[in-house]
Structure 1
Amino acid sequence: MHIIKSWFWPGVITVALLTALAMWFLTDPIDRELTDAANNALDTGNPWASAEIDGRDLVLKGIAPSEEALAEALKIVSATRGVRVVDNQATLLSLAVPFSFAVTKSDEGILLSGNVPYGDARARILAAAERAMPGIEILDEMAVARGAPPGFFDLVDFALVQAAQLTNGEVEISGETYNIRGTAANSNGYDSLNAALHTALPGNGKPGEVKLEVPASASNN
């Protein structure tokens, strides 16, 4: 019996260590394979999302632009072959109520502030601002959020065109309410701004505060 004991326990320990090492070396490639499979599936339409694998459990991370996008990402990763459990650690993009946007024009340039939808909306609005007011410095302080009303872009385009006719002032959209305050570049601009506000506003816009002035030089004529 003494001879058996002398080789039995060292042998058991060696086998256990070799088994543990084999499991460790095999698990890492499997983790990487599942991680790559899940992330490749997400890349197509959900660039905001990322997946990490721990064993056969998947962790979904990121900030989803909408509830629909989050549900879609969960469906995609849940269907990844080999995944046992999905731990949803993703969050939703903040909801802005009301969803607001403002164009402020001054001697320093143009300030775009408020909210902007997820995706290419920021580039789209910046391009529209450059077209409406070419050669003027634009400062972007827009924050991405959910909650943009239908017709938001149409009303933003209208706001940028009107802001171009001001020497200084602000055009603000709050939900669907349209506010404008400032000084028109000239009397013709003043008439044009007012006339546009007395027609149906684009994007379901509703007139709010309108406070327009003509430049002192024009009012003295």
Structure 2
Amino acid sequence: MRALKNWFWPGIITVALLTVLAGWFLAGPIDARITEAANTALSAQNDWASAEVDGRDLILKGVAPSEEALADAIKITNEIPGVRIVDNQTTLLSLAEPFSFVITKSDDGILLSGNVPYGDTRAKILSAAELAMPGIEILDEMAVARGAPPAFFELVQFALGQAAQLINGEVEISGKTYTIRGTPASSADYAAINDALKKPLPGDAALNEIKLVPPVGQGG
């Protein structure tokens, strides 16, 4: 009986230790597989988000561009096989009220400032600015935020076209209002700017102010 006890308890202890060690060695690969699966799933539509896994608890991180994007990322990670809970440690991109965008044209070039939506809109605006005003230096001081009005990029394109007709001045979009101030390059540009502003603006924007200095020889 003593011999049986001498064999039994050390055996139990050995099995327990092996079980603990097996779990310890396997935990890393399981964490890695869940992490890889989560980040792969997120990258398809939510490249702003990233996932880390601790045991079977998934930690979601990143700056969400919208409440809808955040809800989608949480849903995706909750559906990853092996995840026990999702610890949401994300933050929401700041909301700009009003959402403003300004084009300032001077002898030094073009300054683009104010707000821009998350995503590829910044690149599209810079490309449109280069197309509208080739050869002019462009300074980018745009800040990413939520709250862009409908048809924001289309309204910016329109504003860039009008800024190109100024020698110097400023075009401002604030929420859904549109303001232009400055000196047109010619009488034809002066007329073209005013004629364009008599038509509906992109995104149903409202005209706030037109303050143009007529070129020399052009009546106000």
Q: Where does residue 165 of structure 2 map in the other structure?
A: 165
In the aligned structure 2, how far is the partner of 1:172 from the partner of 1:118?
A: 20
Please, which runs of 5 or more residues in structure 2 have no aligned partner?
none
How far off its partner does 1:10 sit? 8.5
How far off its partner does 1:20 sit? 3.9
Partner letter of residue 142 of structure 2? M
Name whichever of 9-18 and 158-167 sits farther off: 9-18
How far off its partner does 1:202 sit? 2.0
Q: 1:186, 1:218 within 8 Å by CA — same for their partners in 2?
A: no
Q: Where does residue 78 of structure 2 map in the other structure?
A: 78
What is the TM-score with the length of structure 2 in the denominator? 0.90
Name whichever of 204-213 and 170-179 sits farther off: 204-213
SS of the aligned residue for 1:140 comes to: strand
What is the TM-score with the length of structure 1 in the denominator? 0.89
SS of the aligned residue for 1:103 comes to: strand
Please, which runs of 5 or more residues in structure 1 have no aligned partner?
none
The answer to whether residue 195 in structure 2 is matched with residue 205 in structure 1 is: no
Residues matched between the structures, number: 219
Q: How does 1:1-221 map to 2 (within 5 A)?
A: 18-215=18-215, 217-218=216-217
Partner letter of residue 151 of structure 1? A
Q: 1:66, 1:92 within 8 Å by CA — same for their partners in 2?
A: yes
How far off its partner does 1:41 sit? 1.0
Name whichever of 49-58 and 149-158 sits farther off: 149-158
How far off its partner does 1:137 sit? 0.8
How far off its partner does 1:214 sit? 2.6
Partner letter of residue 63 of structure 1? V
Q: Between the two proteins, what is the percent identity of the paired residues?
A: 69
Partner letter of residue 84 of structure 1? R
SS of the aligned residue for 2:32 comes to: helix
Provide Cα deviations, 1:42-98, integer angstroms capped at 9, x if missing partner.
111111111110011011111111111111111110000011011111111111111
In the aligned structure 2, how far is the partner of 1:201 from the partner of 1:26?
A: 61
Partner letter of residue 213 of structure 1? V
In the aligned structure 2, how far is the partner of 1:147 from the partner of 1:53?
A: 32
In the aligned structure 1, how far is the partner of 2:45 from the partner of 2:168?
A: 41
Provide Cα deviations, 1:4-55, integer angstroms capped at 9, x if missing partner.
9999998887766554433221111111011111111111111111111001
Partner letter of residue 212 of structure 2? L
In the aligned structure 2, how far is the partner of 1:186 from the partner of 1:200?
A: 24
In the aligned structure 2, how far is the partner of 1:218 from the partner of 1:63?
A: 53
Q: What's the C-alpha RMSD, in Å, of the aligned pairs?
A: 2.5
In the aligned structure 2, how far is the partner of 1:5 from the partner of 1:96?
A: 74
In the aligned structure 2, how far is the partner of 1:134 from the partner of 1:99?
A: 27
In the aligned structure 1, how far is the partner of 2:110 from the partner of 2:78?
A: 46
In the aligned structure 2, how far is the partner of 1:138 from the partner of 1:21?
A: 60
